[in-house]
Amino acid sequence: MEALRFQVVGEAFKKKPLDVKAPSERPYEYFGKKVFNREKMYKYLPKDVYEKMVDVIDNGSRLDRAVADAVAAGMKQWAVENGVTHYTHWFQPLTEGTAEKHDSFIEHDGKGGMVEEFTGKLLVQQEPDASSFPSGGIRSTFEARGYSAWDPTSPVFIIDDTLCIPTVFISYSGEALDYKAPLKRALHAVNVAATDVCHYFDPAVKKVQSNLGWEQEYFLVDEGLYAARPDLLLTGRTLMGHDSAKNQQMDDHYFGAIPERVAAFMRDLEIQALELGVPCKTRHNEVAPNQFELAPIFEETNLAVDHNMMLMSLMKKVARKHGFRVLLHEKPFAGINGSGKHNNWSLSTDNGILLHAPGKTPEANLRFATFIVETLMGVYKHNGLLKASIMSATNAHRLGANEAPPAIVSSFLGKQVSELLDHIETADKDFLAMAGKQGLKMDIPEIPELLIDNTDRNRTSPFAFTGNRFEFRAVGSEANCASAMIALNSAVAEALVDFKKRVDARIPEFEKKLAGTEHSAKFHAIIDVLREDIKTCKPIRFDGNGYSDEWVIEAEKRGLDVEKSCPKIFERYLDDASIAMFESLGVMTQKELEARNEVKWETYTKKIQIEARVLGDLSMNHIIPVATSYQSQLLKNVENMAAVFPVDKAEKLNARNIKIIEEIAERTSAIEKGVEELVNARKLANKIGGEHDKAIAYHDTVEPKLDEIRYQIDKLELIVDDALWPLPKYRELLFIR
């Protein structure tokens, strides 16, 4: 009987691109159509309410109840005009997705009929029965309440018939149960710290905003083929599959022409994403076959995170319409590139200055150097934590493989910025005396005019400077960017607070030395601290090849975190330095950190557990039966040969078959043994009480078995009759559109 595989492959080949009608309007006209943005607020809210909302959004002022009622009324009017019947508080629990519970606007009118109602109370706060979301034990079942509370800085949007209200999700006692609450706290901390430091250079700065531009990588697989791969379906990645003879070695996919069926999907996705206010800008093929990327224009970090979460769910929906499944797993296929989500990050002021971009004046460049160096200080001090912030069971497959950032956090600055920092560090000792006489402009002779060359790039660096921002490349494609953004913005906030403290303490010293020139004293104190910090954080700077083995040895010498085990990397969240940082900035308490780590370890264990089960099942009920059945065919053939030919000749003719029969016997028994060991390792690990220890056991004893079993299966794939092989092969999954 022909394997089901051939049927689904045949169907996948025949599929035609969907006809996606281009909207009659231009993109700028339908951009944000489904978002209650400022333009809609202006139209649907009374003027004083509109102004209050702008004040809430721009300046973080409090929103009172009467205003909330008025906003809800305007929102409802807009929503109803757009066919909306339901609303939901949309939040980001500690699972990697988003959550929503839909309620309709309908209420009894007290006269036996119904009215549609939506009040400020419903807009502002809800108590979803969300006791089954992971909370790391913060909410024991007797106090299972969690509250969702509106985040007015991220606009409300419409999906189908539902008004979605972005919210934070917190426990009864105020602990964060989601990503958004600590993210907002971290963004507040970096705003306060960076604004303070900006005042050295420009007292008019009122606010510093953190920016994020993510680049979402993903794979597309035909839906029929996907359904025929239980491993993809249940774990998001292939647990077996031999390399395709051709994969990415020709480099012919990257930036190549986008296949038509995929192009139709992209067009559809972008139209819908633009309507939801996601400013999609770039689309292209990625390095691996069937791998693609979408990137929007960067935005304020909290909004950018929400937009990425929206986009990921939208992608899944639109892909199905086009007969695809989107794979967001970081490493769906062995042997070819995995997917990441580069997080382009920068800080900017309310008067439009990018703090990580060089300026035209020496003063602007001193500010630039300050923000570069203090970013490096944060990244250096917390390099282990930053790695923990992007680590997951799935991303672990990608990091350290030869195409992704290595599992060591370091920073690439490029030649010009490196030279600038070296220059500041080593400038002539006499410059203070000389500079003091020459007024502000010449005050800082070691800061030349800078033109940053964008082509100076290093793809192997996990945290690379790229002209006016840093690119945190180690973030996984499936991750909520908030995790990385909480750690990064907090680390930089802490460095800036510490920097300011030291500069302030040194200003009087320089005032004395420089006799009364206040400006000079300030700038000299800044340079003095920068020199110290440039020396301190030097170990984090690395412009060489991050994939090389020498780098691992060198990084260890430098004292950087080189741990590779995912559950051990999570421990960095509970280091004294991490707890002190998060607590001092008001981002997370020790209790929250501990609870969240429980969730991380538990999630890790569950993912490996599911993979182990799926691989065990597939081995026993797909692979071994098929291999054995092919083996029986060969045995039959051997028998037949013996019946027809004389012994000598039959032996000769049977030699090849006998070899394969033996190989199948060896490999199937190795698989069987592997599965038995896998089951035993799981049983032992399951008996372990604490989530931390259990995750370590899963990592050390269960996970390695998966690779051993896979090795044998992939070898069998090469010798068993192609017509019998049940699962779509790599060449089919990756080259059919």
For the CA atoms of 691, 484, 471, 558, what is the dihedral angle to 10 degrees?
Answer: -50
Answer whether 617's CB lies under 8 Å from 706's CB: no
Residues 353-392 that bind ligand ADP (CB under 6 A): 354
341 binding Mg ion? (CB under 5 A): no
For Mg ion, the closer of residues 346 and 517 by Cβ is 346
Q: How far is the CB of 457 from ligand ADP (least distance, A)?
A: 8
CA pair distance 524, 535, nearest whole angstrom: 17
For the CA atoms of 441, 443, 449, 450, what is the dihedral angle to 10 degrees?
Answer: -130
The phi, psi pair for 301, rounded to 5°, reads -60, -45
- Per rule CB under 6 A, count of chain residues that contact ligand ADP: 14
Q: How far is the CB of 215 from ligand ADP (least distance, A)?
A: 5
344 binding ligand ADP? (CB under 6 A): yes
Tokens of 154: 């991220």
Rounded alpha-carbon distances, angstroms, from residue 658 to 527, 556, 664: 77, 51, 10
Q: How far is the CB of 277 from ligand ADP (least distance, A)?
A: 15
Answer whether 529's CB lies under 8 Å from 507's CB: no
CA pair distance 167, 147, nearest whole angstrom: 9
Q: Specify the DSSP element, H or E, that contains 513.
A: helix 481-514
Q: How far is the CB of 296 from ligand ADP (least distance, A)?
A: 6
Query: Which residues, in sequence order, are CB contacts of 547 under 8 Å at separation 6+?
Result: 402, 406, 460
> Do you know the residue count of the chain?
737
Q: How far is the CB of 30 from ligand ADP (least distance, A)?
A: 20
CA pair distance 410, 428, nearest whole angstrom: 29
For ligand ADP, the closer of residues 219 and 630 by Cβ is 219
For ligand ADP, the closer of residues 345 and 510 by Cβ is 345
For ligand ADP, the closer of residues 233 and 297 by Cβ is 297
Question: One symbol per residue from 230 to 269: x for binding ligand ADP (CB under 6 A), - otherwise; what is it?
Answer: ----------------------------------------
SS3 track for 180-246: HHHHHHHHHHHHHHHHHHHCCCCCCCCCEEEEEEEEEEEEEEEHHHHHCCHHHHHHCCCCCCCCCCC
215 binding ligand ADP? (CB under 6 A): yes
For the CA atoms of 279, 285, 288, 291, what is the dihedral angle to 10 degrees?
Answer: 50
Q: Which does 517 bind (CB under 5 to 8 A by kind): ligand ADP, Mg ion, none?
A: none
349 binding ligand ADP? (CB under 6 A): no
Tokens of 2: 């022909």
Region binding Mg ion by CB under 5 A among candidate stretches 285-293, 340-348, 362-370, 644-652: 340-348
Sole residue written with tokens 């992007």: 390
Q: How far is the CB of 406 from Mg ion (least distance, A)?
A: 17
Among 37, 119, 153, 468, binds ligand ADP (CB under 6 A): 468
The whole-angstrom distance between residue 240's C-alpha and the CA centroid of its chain comes to 25
The phi, psi pair for 103, rounded to 5°, reads -120, 150
Q: Which does 600 bind (CB under 5 to 8 A by kind): Mg ion, ligand ADP, none?
A: none
| Nearest residue to ligand ADP on Cβ basis | 213
CA pair distance 736, 724, nearest whole angstrom: 20
Q: Specify the DSSP element, H or E, that contains 158.
A: strand 157-159
Region binding ligand ADP by CB under 6 A among candidate stretches 226-234, 344-352, 405-413, 482-490: 344-352
Q: How far is the CB of 349 from Mg ion (least distance, A)?
A: 24
Q: How far is the CB of 216 from Mg ion (least distance, A)?
A: 11
Q: Name the E strands within 286-437.
A: 291-296, 299-300, 324-327, 341-349, 411-412
Cα angle 497, 92, 338 (rounded to 5 degrees) comes to: 85
Q: How far is the CB of 342 from Mg ion (least distance, A)?
A: 4
Q: Which does 136 bind (CB under 5 to 8 A by kind): ligand ADP, Mg ion, none?
A: none
Among 211, 339, 603, 712, binds ligand ADP (CB under 6 A): 211
88 binding ligand ADP? (CB under 6 A): no
282 binding ligand ADP? (CB under 6 A): yes
Q: How far is the CB of 87 from ligand ADP (least distance, A)?
A: 30
Question: One symbol per residue from 290 to 309: x for binding ligand ADP (CB under 6 A), - otherwise; what is it?
Answer: -----xxxx-----------
Q: Which does 282 bind (CB under 5 to 8 A by kind): ligand ADP, Mg ion, none?
A: ligand ADP
Q: Which does 261 bind (CB under 5 to 8 A by kind): ligand ADP, Mg ion, none?
A: none
Q: Which does 296 bind (CB under 5 to 8 A by kind): ligand ADP, Mg ion, none?
A: ligand ADP
Answer whether 599's CB lies under 8 Å from 606's CB: no
Angle between the 647-686 and 624-644 helix axes, to the nearest 10 degrees? 170
Intra-chain end-to-end CA distance of the chain, in Å: 26
Q: Which does 469 bind (CB under 5 to 8 A by kind): Mg ion, ligand ADP, none?
A: ligand ADP
Please report, as a single letter, which amino acid is at residue 330.
Answer: E
Residues 694-733 that bind Mg ion (CB under 5 A): none
Region binding Mg ion by CB under 5 A among candidate stretches 156-164, 250-258, 329-337, 338-346: 338-346
Question: One symbol per residue from 676 to 695: x for binding Mg ion (CB under 5 A), - otherwise; what is it?
Answer: --------------------
Among 469, 694, 705, 737, binds ligand ADP (CB under 6 A): 469
For ligand ADP, the closer of residues 88 and 411 by Cβ is 411
Among 155, 166, 213, 378, binds ligand ADP (CB under 6 A): 213
Q: How far is the CB of 278 from Mg ion (least distance, A)?
A: 18
- From the list 90, 107, 102, the residue with the least C-alpha distance to 149 is 90
For Mg ion, the closer of residues 346 and 605 by Cβ is 346
β-strand 162-171 against 86-91: which pairing, if any? parallel
Q: Which does 297 bind (CB under 5 to 8 A by kind): ligand ADP, Mg ion, none?
A: ligand ADP
For ligand ADP, the closer of residues 140 and 455 by Cβ is 455
Q: Which does 489 bind (CB under 5 to 8 A by kind): Mg ion, ligand ADP, none?
A: none
Among 135, 244, 346, 480, binds ligand ADP (CB under 6 A): 346
For ligand ADP, the closer of residues 9 and 491 by Cβ is 491
Answer whether 727's CB lies under 8 Å from 229's CB: yes
CA pair distance 652, 202, nearest whole angstrom: 89
For ligand ADP, the closer of residues 346 and 517 by Cβ is 346
Q: How far is the CB of 471 from Mg ion (least distance, A)?
A: 5
Q: How far is the CB of 471 from ligand ADP (least distance, A)?
A: 6
Residues 581-600 that bind Mg ion (CB under 5 A): none
Answer whether 216's CB lies under 8 Å from 273's CB: no
For Mg ion, the closer of residues 443 and 471 by Cβ is 471
For ligand ADP, the closer of residues 345 and 698 by Cβ is 345
The whole-angstrom distance between residue 135's C-alpha and the CA centroid of its chain comes to 20
Q: How far is the CB of 346 from ligand ADP (least distance, A)?
A: 3
Please report, as a single letter, which amino acid is at residue 559.
Answer: G
Q: What is the DSSP string of 31-99?
A: TTTTB--HHHHHHHS-HHHHHHHHHHHHH-----HHHHHHHHHHHHHHHHHTT--EEEEEE-BSSSS-E
Tokens of 405: 């950032």
For Mg ion, the closer of residues 52 and 342 by Cβ is 342
342 binding Mg ion? (CB under 5 A): yes
Q: How far is the CB of 466 from Mg ion (least distance, A)?
A: 7
Residues engaged in binding Mg ion (CB under 5 A): 342
Residues engaged in binding ligand ADP (CB under 6 A): 211, 213, 215, 282, 295-298, 344-346, 354, 468-469
